[in-house]
């Protein structure tokens, strides 16, 4: 019985605990700043301060901070979520936030357009309830490989 416990039960518990800790780690998103991003917002007064961050793992997800408002734009899922600024933690030059949970309400949006425009990737959407259009251009990383 003791040998069975050591050989079967303990490794099974270890595997279950490692899966559980990975599930909790997947709920947070690490955002890295996109320095050369272009943001266009129509339908409101010009923003005094804005910044754009991209998810390190899911490149189609972008965090846009416009003054005191924070929006998570998921171009692949075609959804926009508003997240309270208090939930975003600064980690050096990067930020961490919880991912949009299934309980979070997506802002109504339409007119999605995701396209490669040469030197950048453009994400466009329209928030229907607020009559607000958002366009984000994310530059492609430079290819520093030298051709032979």
Q: Are strands 50-55 and 28-33 parallel, antiparallel or unpaired?
A: antiparallel
| Residue 62 vs residue 43, higher pLDDT | 62
pTM of the prediction? 0.74
Residue 13 within any structural domain of the chain: no
Residue 53 within any structural domain of the chain: yes
Contact (Cβ atoms closer than 8 angstroms) between residue 119 and residue 36: no
**Range of 82's domain?**
28-139
Question: What is the per-residue pLDDT across 92-145, written as a single tens digit (0 to 9) for each?
Answer: 888 888 887 755 678 999 999 999 888 889 999 999 999 999 999 999 877 666
Domain count, the chain: 1
Residue 18 within any structural domain of the chain: no
Contact (Cβ atoms closer than 8 angstroms) between residue 103 and residue 81: no
Residue 109 within any structural domain of the chain: yes
Residue 15 within any structural domain of the chain: no
Confidence of residue 19 (pLDDT cuts 50, 70, 90): very low
Residue 12 within any structural domain of the chain: no
Q: Look at 5-9, 84-88, 143-147 and tell me which has the smallest mean pLDDT.
A: 5-9
Question: What is the per-residue pLDDT across 31-56, written as a single tens digit (0 to 9) for each?
Answer: 999 988 999 998 888 888 999 999 98
Residue 147 within any structural domain of the chain: no
Residue 146 within any structural domain of the chain: no
């Amino acid at each position: 019985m003791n040998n069975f416990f050591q050989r079967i039960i303990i490794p099974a518990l270890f595997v279950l605990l490692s899966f559980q800790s990975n599930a909790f780690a997947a709920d947070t998103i690490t955002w890295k700043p996109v320095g050369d991003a272009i943001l266009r917002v129509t339908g409101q007064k010009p923003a005094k301060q804005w910044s754009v961050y991209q998810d390190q793992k899911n490149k189609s997800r972008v965090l846009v901070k416009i003054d005191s408002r924070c929006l998570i734009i998921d171009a692949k899922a075609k959804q926009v979520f508003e997240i309270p600024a208090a939930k975003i933690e600064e980690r050096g030059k990067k930020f961490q936030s919880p991912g949009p949970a299934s309980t979070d309400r997506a802002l109504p949006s339409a007119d999605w357009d995701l396209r490669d425009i040469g030197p950048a990737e453009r994400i466009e959407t329209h928030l229907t309830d607020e009559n607000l259009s958002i366009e984000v251009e994310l530059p492609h990383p430079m290819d520093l490989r030298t051709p032979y």
